[in-house]
Every structure is written in structure tokens, then in C-alpha cells.
Structure 1
Amino acid sequence: MKYLIFLFIVIFGIKGISETSFSLFEYPKKWKNQNNEIKHFSDFSGDFYLLSMVYTSCPHSCPLTIAKVQEIKSFLSKSGFSNIKIVLASFDDEVDTPNHLKQFIKKRKLDEKQWMFLSPSSQKDARELAVVLGISYKKLGAGDFSHSNVISLVGPNGRILAQTKSLTEDIGVFKVAMEKTKK
């Protein structure tokens, strides 16, 4: 039944998923992380995390998205919320293999205890997650993608607590969402 609800969301592209009771834990697909371990979103149960989609060969907006995620993490830490992890899922099922993601993490000097990169099993899996997160993207030639830059804060129950839909939006929405979880 949960998978049917998920498919409904994917097929009809319901916007504002954060306004529903849908949990990413109901998303049944398997992804592989940079250590070649199989991951489900339910593996993040109990954690707060920032979630976005990127591809590591992106020359333009993905490095900016990663920098924005770092800025949000730092902002939340300074606001007293240091228990936030980071999960970045790739659009690119061909290039962003677990080994490639591992090399990218080393090159960018990211802390693997805080950062997890996920490689999709297929382009279909990447597309489904993008729809759930409200991310638009299109595969272009030469390994490039045109895409939106949505960053989501996901709560310990797998529900989206806050989102920014551009890299210029006010990141204060993430602090407000975290403060609401304390009440």
C-alpha cells in the first residue's frame, strides 16, 4: 500500500510534499553510497539531514549547491543544531558510481561521518526521487544535466521539514523548522 501511495506521488508529481504525511522512509528504492553499501532512506531513521540532488561532474550549479549545503550546516550548528547530517543523491547513474563518489569526497575533503553521497541504481530511480523532492531536471548531451537547486531538511521520521527552491533563498527557514522540533 505504501508503495502505491509513493507511485501516486511520483506519477502525479504532487508539489509541496512537505505538507503531506509522506515519509521518505516509504520510498522503497535502493541506492549505493560512496562505500558501495546499499542504502534505503529508512536507514536515516532518527537523524536530521539536509538532502539535495547533484551530479559530481557538474561544472556550474552543483558546486554552488554543495557550498550552500555547507553554509546551511554551519548556520544550523552555530544556532545550536549540530546533529545535522548531509545526504546528496546523484542524478547521474552512469558516471557517479560509488567509487567515483568516494574519490569526489576525498578531492573535496568532505567528512564522511557527516556527508553521504548516493548513486542511483537507474535513471528511473533518480527521476522518482527528484519528483518526490520537487526537483526538476533534464539530461542533456555530453553528460550534463539542467536542473533546479532544491535543498530539503528531512526529520528523523523521514518527513520534509523545510525546503529552499533556489540557492538565493533565505536559509533561515531551516532554523525555524529545527526550532519547531524542540517544542
Structure 2
Amino acid sequence: MTQPPHDEQTAADPEELQEQVEQTRQRLGRTVEALAAKADVKARAQEKATEAKDQAAAKAGELREQTAVKAGELREQTAVKAGELREQTAAKAEELRTKATEVVSRVQDKLPDPVRDKAAQAAEQARVKAAEAGRLWEEKAPEPVRARTAQGAQLARDHRGLLLTAAGAAAVVWLMCRGKK
């Protein structure tokens, strides 16, 4: 038989000995269970796989959250930048309108009176001819073509300022190019 450990006292009577044997069996049973759990590679692998899966799911959740936050920040930055660009564009458009108006005014001031009168007459003739062409158009053009033309005319009326600015800018460029020759 084995000798009892030094820290335990030997049993004085059979009941006490029975109790010590029972405690030793329980400790031995727990030790055997622990060793069996360590020896069960399949169960340990499954535990590790479950643990890794849980960690991956947690990390994926974190990344989704971080991505959503970053996307929100980018959306906000984009909206701010778009607003700034709109303001800059509006300011530049106003600046160009002002310059075009000044140039047109200077050009008109430099035109001799007979030329201005001729231009006014030509404009009136153009209005009359345009009205006449419009009447002919109404009489002769097919309905689908007239509908499309009406849409285009409405767009032009809606964006009249932009069209006039573009025309003024084109006139200025033409005058500048013509003046250089």
C-alpha cells in the first residue's frame, strides 16, 4: 500500500478511514475527468472553433459598427463640401454676371447712336419674324414635335438668367477675340 501524505493524519477508526477513502475517490474522479477532458481532442477542437467563431462574430459586429460610423462621417463631410461648392459656384456665377453686365454696358456706351438705332430696328424685325415663324410652326408642325419644342422653350424660360449669362459671356469672348485681331 501507499503511505498517507504527510499533511494528512492517519485514520483512528474505520469510519474515519472510510471517509478519507471516499474523499480520495472524489478527488481522483475529478482528476480523471480533467485528464479525460484534456485528452478529448475533438471536444477541445470544437470548443476552440466555437470560441474562434464567437470572436469572429464579435469582431465583425465591431467592424460593421465602425463602418457605419465612418460612412455617416463621410456623408456629413460630403454634404458640407457640396454646400461649400454650391456657395462658391453661386458666387462665381454672380461675379460673371456682374462682369458680363459691365462689359455689355461698356460696349453699348461705345456704340454710336446710328448703330444702336440699327440694332434696335434689327431686334424689332427679329421679333416680328419670330412671331410669324411661331404662327407658321403652330399651323404646320406635328403635335409630338410641338410638345417637345414647348418643353425645350419652358426649360429655356426657367433658366433664362443662365442662358443670358452664357450668351453675354460668349459675346464678350467674341468681342475680345475680334479686338485682338
Q: Would you say same fold, with TM above 0.5?
A: no
Specify which structure has the bigger relative contact order, considering alpha-carbon pairs within 8 angstroms and separated by 6 or more residues: 1
Q: Decide which structure has greater strand share.
A: 1
Which one has a bigger Cα radius of gyration?
A: 2
